[in-house]
């Protein structure tokens, strides 16, 4: 069986790759298990050196990987270059981690007590189609740095850059079996990783529904699990904000990657007294978005990933609610125009459910307390933004918002050096930054009696 990989901007097949099943998944786990003792035993500086070489090897192929990601994901080439750049940065950041994976010494009676951060073993990684290689690198790099070996199952819609990485890793000097990729259905290969007795942990990014299933399945073998799931993040704009900047930056905080971003600020909460002015500014910004061929320099938004995703997104939009609609190409490809819905109540379906497409909702609020209540009235808690010139208010609201990643006067969520992850049903565990290493290691405590 082959997987037909589509190019979303043309709806044409761009590649065919062999489809893995249970047998291939088991074989990949066996290779990772065999490679584990030597990889784990490698002196920390040597593991770091190999990760640095992998970063360099990816950097040398950056343009080709970016073109592949742009075509297969339907994402603007500029964004794809940024993502592969982040992959390089992620491997470089964690190349320094093996030598910094220190434990503690703890004062006790009769001896010395020390802790070690031990690797887990073979780690299963299940990743989505929205940022294929970038999200994979957020898992692979800390997992390898801590001494684990990995089996990655990329989304069937976007397996190409992951398969490239599997080829690049040994070329860069990583021992065979340290990085393994199985491209096959989640319900088969992903499920097998969840059930497999030789897989110590599963790290997953994707929908909350599948995340729930993975957590339940992992209970059978007491696997460690980290989950990075959906979001319905709030972009809170107070009347005292720089409205020009807030409105100029709000569209791409939802429409970036055609809205297929778990951090999308898809609920734009605007203080009543600033609403009219904000909507005027927002309209101009949305209409200026360049939607088109992902490979054309300057394109800001491409198509959705699939026809299925377009149908899901369309189900949230009724024409009577559309306040602003941008442009999108006609013809083949899974296009959907940037769309702003207003008025919308916080409990209406488009404001409640993750749309994962270029659809924003605008929801007015009365005051600070109302803004916090609306922002938190969701099952999700991934990210959020606060726009105000009042520093104390910004910090009060940041502390009150139930989300893992907040930015003030900015809509950014991700930095390689800082922790990323959700509250509530957006998941648990943290990726990136120093924290990610905690989720790829177990703490071992060793007591050494020293009494004569
Ligand atoms: P899924 O959660 O289904 O897919 C994510 C990954 O999980 C894919 O690799 C998929 O494999 C795999 N998977 C699917 N079923 C299982 C299973 N039973 N056991 C183990 N792994 C499995 O997301 P979808 O692609 O279906 O997207 C649907 C919605 O999910 C989106 O509209 C969006 O709301 C949300 N989503 C959120 C993401 C995020 O970044 N938080 C990313 C992607 C989606 P495969 O697809 O190859 O079968």
Q: Supply the DSSP string of 45-60, one letter for each residue.
A: HHHHHHHHHHHHHHHH
> To the nearest whole percent, how much of the chain has pLDDT over 90?
99
Q: Is the pLDDT of residue 385 over 90?
A: yes
Q: Which of the four pLDDT bands, split at 50, 70 and 90, describes residue 319?
A: confident
Contact by Cβ (8 Å): 127, 99? no
Q: Mean pLDDT throughout 303-312? A: 97
pLDDT digits (tens, 9 = 90+) for 365-376: 999 999 999 999
DSSP state of 394: H
CA–CA distance from 217 to each of 16, 196, 231, 313, 433 (Å)? 31, 10, 23, 29, 28
Q: Mean pLDDT throughout 55-77? A: 98
User: Taking the chain, what is the end-to-end CA distance rounded to the nearest angstrom?
Assistant: 67
pLDDT digits (tens, 9 = 90+) for 99-115: 999 999 999 999 999 99
Q: What is the pLDDT of residue 105?
A: 98
Q: What is the pLDDT of residue 75?
A: 98
Substitution site in 186, 203, 263 for ligand 1 pocket (most atoms within 8 Å of beta carbon): 186
Q: Is the pLDDT of residue 430 over 90?
A: yes
Burial degree of 247 (CB within 10 A; 0-12, 13-18, 19+): buried
Contact by Cβ (8 Å): 35, 144? no
> To the nearest whole percent, how much of the chain has pLDDT over 70?
100
Counting other chains too, the contacts that 58-63 makes at CB distance below 8 Å and 24 or more residues apart are: 58/84, 58/87, 58/88, 58/91, 58/165, 58/168, 59/88, 61/164, 61/168, 62/88
DSSP state of 265: -
The residue whose C-alpha atom lies closest to atom 43 belonging to ligand 1 is 206
Q: What is the pLDDT of residue 386?
A: 98
Q: What is the pLDDT of residue 348?
A: 96
Q: Which of the four pLDDT bands, split at 50, 70 and 90, describes residue 275?
A: very high
Atom of ligand 1 nearest to the CA of 354: 34
Q: What is the pLDDT of residue 320?
A: 85
Q: pTM for the whole thing?
A: 0.97
Q: What is the pLDDT of residue 243?
A: 98
126 forms beta bridges with 153, 204
Q: What is the mean pLDDT of the chain?
A: 98
H or E, element range at 158:
none
Q: Which of the four pLDDT bands, split at 50, 70 and 90, describes residue 122?
A: very high
User: How far is the C-alpha of 330 from the C-alpha of 181, rounded, in Å?
Assistant: 36
Q: What are phi and psi of 97, to 5 degrees?
A: -75, -40
- In angstroms, what is the span from residue 193 Cα to ligand 1's centroid? 15
Residue 272, SS3 per DSSP? helix
Q: Is the pLDDT of residue 86 over 90?
A: yes
- In angstroms, what is the span from residue 254 Cα to ligand 1's centroid? 20
Q: Mean pLDDT throughout 298-311? A: 97
Substitution site in 206, 231, 306, 356 for ligand 1 pocket (most atoms within 8 Å of beta carbon): 206
Q: Mean pLDDT throughout 69-98? A: 98
Question: Of the candidates 330, 332, 2, which has an alpha carbon nearest to the alpha carbon of residue 156?
Answer: 2
Q: Which of the four pLDDT bands, split at 50, 70 and 90, describes residue 238?
A: very high
Q: Which of the four pLDDT bands, split at 50, 70 and 90, describes residue 387?
A: very high
User: How far is the C-alpha of 314 from the C-alpha of 336, rounded, in Å?
Assistant: 8
User: How far is the C-alpha of 302 from the C-alpha of 9, rounded, in Å?
Assistant: 7
């Amino acid at each position: 069986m082959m997987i037909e990989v589509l190019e979303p901007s043309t709806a044409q097949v761009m590649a065919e790759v062999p489809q893995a099943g249970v047998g291939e998944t088991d074989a990949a786990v066996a290779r990772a298990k065999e490679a584990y003792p030597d990889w784990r035993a490698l002196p920390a500086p040597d593991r770091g050196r190999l990760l640095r070489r992998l970063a360099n090897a990816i950097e040398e192929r950056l343009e080709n990987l970016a073109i592949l990601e742009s075509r297969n994901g339907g994402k603007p080439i500029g964004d794809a270059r940024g993502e592969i750049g982040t992959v390089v940065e992620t491997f470089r950041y964690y190349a320094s981690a093996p030598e910094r994976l220190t434990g503690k010494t703890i004062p006790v009676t009769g001896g010395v007590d020390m802790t070690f951060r031990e690797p887990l073993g073979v780690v299963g990684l299940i990743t989505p189609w929205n940022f294929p290689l970038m999200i994979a690198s957020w898992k692979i790099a800390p997992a390898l740095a801590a001494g684990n070996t990995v089996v990655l199952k990329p989304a069937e819609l976007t397996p190409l850059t992951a398969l490239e990485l599997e080829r690049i890793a040994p070329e860069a000097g990583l021992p065979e079996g340290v990085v393994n990729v199985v491209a096959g259905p989640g319900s088969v290969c992903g499920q097998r990783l969840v059930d497999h007795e030789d897989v110590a942990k599963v790290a997953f990014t994707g929908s909350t529904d599948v995340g729930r299933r993975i957590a339940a399945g992992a209970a059978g073998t007491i696997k460690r699990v980290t989950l990075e799931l959906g979001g319905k993040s709030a972009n809170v704009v107070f009347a005292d904000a720089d409205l020009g900047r807030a409105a100029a930056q709000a569209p791409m905080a939802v429409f970036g990657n055609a809205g297929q971003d778990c951090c999308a600020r898809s609920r734009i909460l605007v203080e009543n007294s600033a609403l009219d002015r904000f909507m005027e500014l927002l309209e101009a910004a949305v209409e200026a978005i360049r939607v088109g061929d992902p490979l054309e320099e300057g394109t800001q938004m491409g198509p959705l990933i699939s026809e299925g995703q377009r149908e899901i997104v369309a189900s949230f939009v009724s024409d009577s609610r559309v306040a602003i609609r941008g442009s999108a190409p006609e013809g083949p490809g899974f296009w959907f125009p940037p769309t702003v819905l207003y008025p919308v109540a916080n409990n209406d379906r488009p404001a409640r459910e993750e749309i994962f497409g270029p659809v924003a909702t605008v929801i007015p609020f009365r005051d600070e307390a109302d803004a916090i209540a609306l922002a938190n009235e969701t099952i999700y808690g991934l990210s959020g933004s606060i726009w105000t010139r009042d520093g104390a208010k910004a910090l009060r609201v940041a502390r009150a918002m139930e989300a893992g990643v907040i930015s003030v006067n900015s809509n950014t969520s991700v930095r390689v050096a800082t922790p990323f992850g959700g509250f509530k049903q957006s998941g648990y565990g943290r990726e990136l930054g120093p924290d990610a290493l905690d989720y790829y290691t177990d703490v071992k405590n060793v007591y050494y009696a020293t009494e004569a």
